[in-house]
Amino acid sequence: MVRPFRLACLLILSASLLPATHAPLSVAQAGKVKVWHHQAPTHHDKAQFKNVVVSNEGVLRLARELKPFAAVKSTHIWDVVEDKDGHLYVAGGEGKVWKVAPDGKVAVVYSGQESQVFCLALAPDNAILAGTGPNGQIVRIAPDGTHKVLCETNESYVWSLAVDSRGEFIYAGTGPKGRIHRLTPQGKSSVFYSTKQEHILSVACGPDGNVYAGTDKNGLVYRIDGQGKGFVLCQTPQTEVRSLLVTPAGVYAGTSAPVKRRALGGSATVERPGPGNAVLPSSSASRTAEPVGVEESDKGSAASSKDKEKEPEKGTPAPAAPPPTTGENSVFFIRSDGTVREIFRDKVMVLSLLQTNGRLLVGTGMDGRLFEVNETTKEKTEIARLDHGQIQCLCQRRDGSIVLGAGDPGKLFVLQDRHAASGTVTSDVLDAKIVSKWGALRWKAETPNGCKVTVAVRTGNVAEPDETWSDWSAEQTDAEQAVIAAPAARFLQYRLTLASANPALSPSVGSVTLRYSTTNQAPEVTGLEVPDLDAVNLDNPKKLKIKWTAQDANEDELTYHLFIRKEGWKNWVQLEDNLTKTEYEWDTTTTPAGVYQVKVSASDRRDNPDGEALVGERISTSVAVAHVPPTVTLKVVGIEGDQAVVEATASDPLVRLTGASFAVNGKRWINVFPTDGLFDSKTETFKFKTDALRPGTHVLVLRVKDAAGNVGSGDAVFTVQPRAAK
User: Would you say the CATH fold of 524-625 matches that of 74-307+326-351?
Assistant: no
Question: Which pLDDT does position 299 carry in this prediction?
Answer: 35
Specify the long-range contacts of residues 97-100, CB closer than 8 Å, at least 24 apart: 97/128, 97/130, 97/141, 98/72, 98/74, 99/145, 100/69, 100/70, 100/72, 100/412
Question: Which pLDDT does position 174 carry in this prediction?
Answer: 97
| Res. 284 pLDDT band, cuts 50 70 90 | very low
Range from 320-324, 368-372, 579-583 carrying the lowest mean pLDDT: 320-324
Question: Which pLDDT does position 608 carry in this prediction?
Answer: 85
Assign 3-state DSSP to the chain and report helix, strand, coil percentages, each to 5. Answer: 5, 50, 45
Query: Looking at per-residue confidence, does 323 or 291 come out higher?
Result: 323
pLDDT in tens, 423-432: 999 999 999 9
Query: Looking at per-residue confidence, does 359 or 460 come out higher?
Result: 460
CATH number, domain 16-63+422-519, options 2.120.10, 2.60.40, 2.60.120, 3.40.50 = 2.60.120
Cα dihedral across residues 114, 115, 118, 121: positive or negative: positive
Residue 374: is its pLDDT beyond 90? no
Question: Which pLDDT does position 580 carry in this prediction?
Answer: 95
pLDDT in tens, 188-216: 999 999 999 999 999 999 998 999 999 99
Task: Report, as an integer, the average pLDDT of 106-127.
Answer: 93
Question: Which pLDDT does position 723 carry in this prediction?
Answer: 79
Range from 14-18, 406-410, 534-538 carrying the lowest mean pLDDT: 14-18
Residue 260: is its pLDDT beyond 80? no
Residue 293: is its pLDDT beyond 80? no
Residue 261: is its pLDDT beyond 60? no
Euclidean distance between CA atoms 424 and 53, whole angstroms: 10
CA 112, distance to chain mean position in Å, is 44
Question: Which pLDDT does position 325 carry in this prediction?
Answer: 85
Question: Which pLDDT does position 316 carry in this prediction?
Answer: 53
Task: Report, as an integer, the average pLDDT of 348-361.
Answer: 92
Question: Which pLDDT does position 377 carry in this prediction?
Answer: 78
pTM for this one?
Answer: 0.63
Question: Which pLDDT does position 726 carry in this prediction?
Answer: 58
Measured in degrees and rounded to the nearest 5, phi and psi for residue 458 equal -150, 155
Question: Which pLDDT does position 319 carry in this prediction?
Answer: 64
Task: Report, as an integer, the average pLDDT of 557-580.
Answer: 95
Question: Which pLDDT does position 188 carry in this prediction?
Answer: 94
- The DSSP symbol for 302 reads H
CA 470, distance to chain mean position in Å, is 32
Residue 178: is its pLDDT beyond 60? yes
The yes/no answer on whether domain 631-720 falls in CATH 2.60.40.10 is yes
| Residue 501: C-alpha distances to residues 64, 65, 235, 497, 505 (Å) | 14, 14, 48, 13, 8
Neighbours of 18 (CB within 10 A): 11
- The residue extents of the domains of the chain are 16-63+422-519, 74-307+326-351, 524-625, 631-720
Query: Looking at per-residue confidence, does 267 or 417 come out higher?
Result: 417
Task: Report, as an integer, the average pLDDT of 596-613.
Answer: 91
Residues 339 and 249 sit within 8 Å (Cβ to Cβ): no
Euclidean distance between CA atoms 647 and 665, whole angstroms: 18
pLDDT in tens, 588-604: 999 999 999 999 999 99
Euclidean distance between CA atoms 54 and 48, whole angstroms: 12
pLDDT in tens, 636-670: 999 998 999 999 999 999 999 999 999 999 999 99
Question: CATH topology for 74-307+326-351?
Answer: Methylamine Dehydrogenase; Chain H (2.130.10)
Task: Report, as an integer, the average pLDDT of 603-613.
Answer: 88
Using alpha carbons only, what angle is made at residue 272 by residues 132 and 182, rounded to the nearest 5 degrees? Answer: 40
HSE-up of 418 (CA within 13 Å, CB side)? 9
pLDDT in tens, 132-168: 999 999 999 999 989 999 999 999 999 999 999 999 9
- The rounded percent of the chain whose pLDDT value lies above 70 is 87
Question: CATH topology for 524-625?
Answer: Immunoglobulin-like (2.60.40)
Task: Report, as an integer, the average pLDDT of 31-39.
Answer: 86
pLDDT in tens, 224-256: 999 999 999 999 999 999 999 999 999 999 999
Euclidean distance between CA atoms 259 and 257, whole angstroms: 7
Which value, in Å, is the radius of gyration of the alpha carbons in the chain?
41
pLDDT in tens, 73-92: 888 899 999 999 999 999 98
Residues 192 and 228 sit within 8 Å (Cβ to Cβ): yes
Question: Which pLDDT does position 466 carry in this prediction?
Answer: 96
